[in-house]
């Protein structure tokens, strides 16, 4: 569905150097702090901004060969709806009908009703949560094969985030071959729905791993200075100083449990992995 290979984009104070692949029927998440390069990568994948080097393919084609028909297969949400704030949902429906031949009006209206989105109010009167719900509903209402969603749950409370994630899961269950590329700095959101995660920091991918592997095999070791000195460090990915000595990130949690019974070995959650990968040595 999407391939970014050694894609480079340089600004005055930022440099992106990114490779990622999204296959048919998969969901991958791009995790990183604000300003890490998520939005830049997404805009390049959509052909919205030029890049300096590397290759970008969409649906198996170079990005510059993508046709209008190919673009009909994409549902995108990049933070803002792109519609005039004075427009109402009724007016947006007319635009979507003209822009997308496969626009599903009844499905769209059903979802607006479920999420209590008023049809006659201008978008400027919508809350942040209402706008976020509308953006996702627009993206999934024209039978798209591919969704590209940049921070769709940013700034939302727990309930609103859960509603949007449920909406995406429903979209995926309708057709098995659909794919999603989604970004967030709230890693626990992505943990629920993503097959694999890419961690991005300062414009570079620092880790790519299946979500199941992250949750089942990664761990945090907590050691005194003496324990750290005697430790086999072959399977240590990152190290941080701590008040008690050191904490270490490993992909071989079970190895250290079996071979070092005196040290503390804990299961790592996604947030801990993010903090270690972006802050450890």
Residues ≥6 apart with Cβ < 8 Å to 175 = 145
Specify the residue for token string 């991005």: 200
Beta bridge partners of 265: 221
Domain boundary pick from 159, 188, 213? 213
Instruction: Report the distance separating Cα 221 and Cα 256, nearest Å.
Output: 8
242 shares a domain with 199:
no
Q: Are residues 268 and 197 in the same domain?
A: no
| pLDDT tens for each residue of 61-108 | 999 999 989 999 999 888 666 788 899 999 999 999 988 989 999 999
**Strand-pair partners of 17:** 8, 204
Predicted local distance difference test score (pLDDT) of residue 281: 60
Listed residues 170, 185, 213: the one ending a domain: 213
Give the residue among 194, 176, 174 at the shortest CA–CA distance from 184: 194
Residue-range definition of the domain harbouring residue 269: 218-279
Residues 251 and 137 reside in one and the same domain:
no
Residue 162 pLDDT exceeds 90: no
CATH number, residue 123? 3.40.50.300
Q: pLDDT tens digits for 193-227? A: 899 999 999 999 999 999 999 999 999 999 999 99
Are 263 and 148 part of one and the same domain? Answer: no
Total residue count of the chain as it appears in this document: 281
Residue 137 near residue 111, CB atoms below 8 Å: yes
Of residues 266 and 280, the one with the higher pLDDT is 266
Mean pLDDT, the chain, whole residue set: 90
Q: Are 71 and 130 members of one domain?
A: yes
CA distance 199 to 205: 6
Residue 226 pLDDT: 93
Quote the pLDDT of residue 280. 59
Residue 157 has pLDDT above 90, yes or no: no
Total domain count for the chain? 2
224-234 per-residue burial string, b: 16 or more CB within 10 A, e: under 16: eeebbeebeee
Choose the final residue of a domain: 160, 184, 213. Answer: 213
pLDDT > 70? residue 262:
yes
| Largest distance between two CA atoms of the chain | 69
Whether 204 and 269 map to the same domain: the answer is no
Whose structure tokens read 């890419």?
Answer: 198
Residues 199 and 223 in one domain: no
User: Distance between CA atoms of 20 and 194, rounded to whole angstroms?
Assistant: 14
For the four alpha carbons of 107, 109, 114 and 115, in that order, the dihedral sign comes to positive
Whether the Cβ atoms of residue 157 and residue 124 lie closer than 8 Å to each other = no
Query: In this structure, are 162 and 227 located in the same domain?
Result: no
Distance in angstroms (rounded) separating the CA atoms of residues 209 and 202: 19
Q: What is the mean pLDDT of residues 102-129?
A: 92
pLDDT at site 4: 95
Q: What is the pLDDT of residues 174-197, one digit of tens each?
A: 888 899 999 887 777 888 889 999
Q: How high is the pLDDT of residue 21?
A: 95
Q: Which of 114, 115, 112, 104 is nearest to 175 (CA)?
A: 104
Same domain, 273 and 151: no
- Same domain? For 262 and 130 the reply is no
Yes or no: say if 42 and 148 are a contact pair by the CB < 8 Å rule. Answer: yes
* Claim to verify: residue 147 and residue 255 sit in the same structural domain: no
* Together in a domain, 240 and 173: no
């Amino acid at each position: 569905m999407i391939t970014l290979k050694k894609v480079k984009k340089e600004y005055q104070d930022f440099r992106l150097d990114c490779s990622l692949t999204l296959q048919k029927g998969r969901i991958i998440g791009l995790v990183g702090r604000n300003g890490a390069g998520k939005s830049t990568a997404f805009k390049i994948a959509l052909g919205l901004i030029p890049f300096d080097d590397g290759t970008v393919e969409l649906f198996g084609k170079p990005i510059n060969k993508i046709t209008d028909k190919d673009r009909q297969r994409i549902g995108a949400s990049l933070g803002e709806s792109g519609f005039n704030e004075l427009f109402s949902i009724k007016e947006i429906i007319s635009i979507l009908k003209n822009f997308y031949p496969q626009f599903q009006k009844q499905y769209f209206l059903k979802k607006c009703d479920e999420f209590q989105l008023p049809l006659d109010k201008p978008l400027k009167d919508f809350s942040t949560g209402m706008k976020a719900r509308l953006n996702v509903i627009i993206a999934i209402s024209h039978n798209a094969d591919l969704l590209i969603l940049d921070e769709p749950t940013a700034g939302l409370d727990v309930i609103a985030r859960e509603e949007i994630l449920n909406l995406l899961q429903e979209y995926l269950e309708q057709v098995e071959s659909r794919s999603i590329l989604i970004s967030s700095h709230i890693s626990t959101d992505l943990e629920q729905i993503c097959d694999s995660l890419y961690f991005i920091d300062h414009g570079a991918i620092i880790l790519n791993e299946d979500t199941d592997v992250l949750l089942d095999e990664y761990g945090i070791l907590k050691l005194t200075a003496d324990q750290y000195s005697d430790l086999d460090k072959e399977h240590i990915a990152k190290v941080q100083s701590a008040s008690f000595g050191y904490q270490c990130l490993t992909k071989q949690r079970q190895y250290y449990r079996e071979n070092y019974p005196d040290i503390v070995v804990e299961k790592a959650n996604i947030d801990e992995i993010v903090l270690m990968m972006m802050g450890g040595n």
